[in-house]
Amino acid sequence: MQEPFETAPNENRIVYVKTVDVTDLPTEVQGKVNGLEQLYAVHDSEGQQLALVADRKLAFQLARQNDYAPVAVH
């Protein structure tokens, strides 16, 4: 089960979803991705990473389930 994102009251409800190359991640994380080449990160407006998931659709669903408005970063 996913834990809700931590937010402050009246905080900006936009999050940003971007692709992350597995090779750019720490070695301990790379060993846990089972052959994937890219993951999807969800970041708040300050740039703090809130989640790292294997699927773009899941990243958007996770954001919406936590009352965020996800925006893709290209």
Distances (CA, A) of 29 to 10, 22, 58: 33, 8, 19
The predicted pLDDT at position 4 comes to: 60
Q: pLDDT digit of tens for each residue in the chain (74 aa)?
A: 455 666 555 567 999 999 999 999 999 999 999 889 999 999 999 999 999 999 999 999 999 999 999 999 98
CB 42 within 8 A of CB 53: yes
The predicted pLDDT at position 39 comes to: 96
Which tokens belong to 56? 């773009």
